[in-house]
Amino acid sequence: MYEVGGACVMTFTCWFNFLLQTTRLAQAARGHGCESRSTTNQNQTERMSTIRTLIGSVLLLLGILYVYFYAWRSPRSSKHPEPVQYPVAPPVGRLSAAVNHVFHLVAPDHLKYKQPSIVNGRTDVVTLTPWLAPVVWDGTFNPVLLDSIYQSKNITVAATVFAVGKYIRFLKKFLETAEPYFFVGFRVNIYVFTDHPKDVPRVQMAGGRKVVVRSVPSSNRWQEISARRMELIQNLIEEVHDSVDYIFCLDVDSEFHGRWGSESLGGLVAVIHPGYYRDDRGRFPYERRPESRAYVADGEGDFYYCGGAFGGLLQEVSLLAKTCDLNFKADAKEGIEAAWQEESHLNRYMWINKPSKILSPEYLWQDFKPRNPEVRIVRFSGVVKNYADIRPNV
Ligand code: UD2
């Protein structure tokens, strides 16, 4: 733009000089002749005509410059040069692209959204842990902004859900409610692990979303079903690591009631258990026997996290699942089963390996629990169930 403007000014300057020179030459030529009264009048007329031509030229050029700067060029491009965007290095493989996924957040240019405040926010809840991981509550994030950031990354999100034995009855509602609430607008694979593959309900799903069924053996012990999930999750991650970016592991006896989306993405993501989040840590049901590998000593532990919902980047969940599975099996060899099976091991793991994002109890409530005032929205909630009726053992 400036080059063209400069060229216009240069042209005008040359033209003006040329006209000035011509006028001076004509005057000089006339100065050598003998001046009669009539020639003086003629000279004056010529001078006036030259001045008129000059003024006309100046006005014409100013007109051209006005049209160029204010009418032809749009106001935005004349004030705001297009910023340079360095391309993000292309991923070599999905696992090696982890840093880009986590840290590099690109918002679309000119996206309009409510101005964020640095001084006003929620004051009724804690939104940051002492290790500076965000705690996601309603009102702490902008869903439109987050979705547009993560949609441009073209990610695939997986969810695992186990429906073994009589728990198959919960699957239909789980899948039906996941469709309008869980990562809407994203590519989603829901992996269903069941011993009743033929009873998996068909649920209409939007493009890019699918249910994948995996057969698993039945079991006579619910503790084993619950705990075996870590090993199967680990195996699944090995299998899908080239095509999936994030994974969430969810309890089947639950339903979605509100948005669960890109705000939940992070490296290692834990969900606060709805039953204990207002309690002193001395009351958390951690494994308290030192001989278990899930042991958490008195006076230790940050929060009590759910076994029914956790997730994050594939490599993070892989490490968690491997570690919990190994510790669970090593305990089993010594005849120990932690108080809350894999949930106890998960809590021990997250005490040492701090989650990088924490989801508030909005992300796993319990239907039987009256909602507390700080829980403005229940996004996912465990249904009321009769354990004696659905578990293979008591
Ligand atoms: C808690 C946890 C659960 C797990 C368990 C301890 C929450 C909300 N729930 O729930 O995740 O940590 O304590 O082991 O944090 N399952 C079957 N068939 C069975 C039994 C279990 O498929 O016969 C699967 C199913 O996906 C179920 C999950 O295992 O959702 C957990 O079992 P649960 O719901 O009976 O465990 P619960 O309510 O004690």
Residue pLDDT, tens place only, 334-355? 999 999 999 999 999 999 999 9
Residue 228 lies in a domain: yes
Residues 162 and 288 in one domain: yes
Q: How far is the CA of 226 from the centre of ligand 1 (A)?
A: 6
Catalytic residues: 343
Structure-token pair, residue 21: 């020179």
Q: Are residues 53 and 165 in the same domain?
A: no
48 plus 156 within the same structural domain? no
Split at pLDDT 50, 70, 90, the class of 21 is low
C-beta 363 within 6 A of ligand 1? no
Whether residue 119 contacts residue 210, with contact meaning beta carbons closer than 8 Å, is answered with no
Confirm or reject: Cβ of 244 under 6 Å from ligand 1. Answer: no
pLDDT of 7: 45
Global model pTM greater than 0.85: no
**9 labelled binding-site residue:** no
What does the alpha-carbon distance between residue 16 and residue 55 come to, in Å, rounded to a whole number?
10
Whether 30 is in a domain gets the answer no
Residue 32 located in a structural domain: no
Q: What is the pLDDT of residues 88-109, one digit of tens each?
A: 555 566 665 555 556 789 999 9
Helix or strand or coil: residue 141? Answer: coil
Mean pLDDT score, 188-208: 97
Question: Separation of 271 CA from ligand 1 center, angstroms?
Answer: 15
Question: Is residue 61 domain-resident?
Answer: yes
Are 270 and 384 part of one and the same domain? yes
- Considering Cα of 63, then 66, then 68, then 71, what sign does the dihedral take? negative
**Assigned domain for 26 exists:** no
pLDDT at 300 over 60: yes
* More confidently predicted of 229 and 4: 229
Evaluate whether residue 291 is within a structural domain: yes
The answer to whether 3 is annotated as binding is no
Residue 53 has pLDDT above 90, yes or no: no
- One domain, residues 256 and 298: yes
Exposure of 209 in the CB half-sphere (CA atoms within 13 A) = 20
Whole-angstrom distance between the N-terminal and C-terminal Cα of the chain? 78
Instruction: Tell me: is residue 109 an annotated ligand-binding position.
Output: no
Does residue 88 belong to any structural domain of this protein? no
Report DSSP state, residue 95. Answer: G
| Same domain, yes or no: 206 and 277 | yes
Q: In this structure, are 53 and 131 located in the same domain?
A: no
Q: Does 166 lie in the same domain as 295? A: yes
Structural domain span for residue 67: 1-13+41-75
Say what percent of the chain tops pLDDT 90: 69
φ, ψ of residue 210 in degrees (nearest 5): -150, 160
Task: Please name which of 259, 271, 102 lies closest in space to residue 184, comparing C-alpha atoms.
Answer: 259
Residues 198 and 65 placed together within one structural domain of the fold: no
pLDDT tops 70 at residue 6? no
Does the pLDDT of residue 67 top 80, yes or no?
no
The band of 5, judged by pLDDT with boundaries at 50, 70 and 90, is very low
Max CA distance (Å), the chain: 131
Considering the domain boundaries, does residue 36 fall inside one?
Answer: no
Q: What is the pLDDT of residue 99?
A: 53
> Does the Cβ of 150 fall within 6 Å of ligand 1?
no
Ligand 1 atom nearest to 385, measured from its CA:
38
Band of pLDDT at residue 82, cut at 50, 70 and 90 = low
> Atom of ligand 1 at shortest distance to CA of 193?
22
What sign for the dihedral angle of Cα 97, 98, 100, 101?
A: positive
Shared domain check, 376 and 291: yes
Report strand pairing: 268-272 vs 305-313.
antiparallel
SS percent in the chain: helix, strand, coil, step 5:
45, 15, 40
Q: Whose CA is nearest to atom 18 of ligand 1?
A: 164
Domain CATH for 135: 3.90.550.10
If you average pLDDT over residues 265-281, what whole number do you get? Answer: 97
pLDDT band at residue 15 using 50, 70 and 90 as cut-offs: low
Q: Quick one: 221 and 257 in the same domain?
A: yes
Task: Tell me how many domains the chain contains.
Answer: 2
Task: Report residue 324's pLDDT band, with 50, 70 and 90 as the boundaries.
Answer: very high
Atom of ligand 1 nearest to the CA of 229: 29
The DSSP call for residue 66 is H
Statement to judge: residues 71 and 207 lie in one domain:
no
Angle at 136 between CA 108 and CA 263, to 5 degrees: 30
Confidence of residue 157 (pLDDT cuts 50, 70, 90): very high
Place of tokens 């970016």: 245
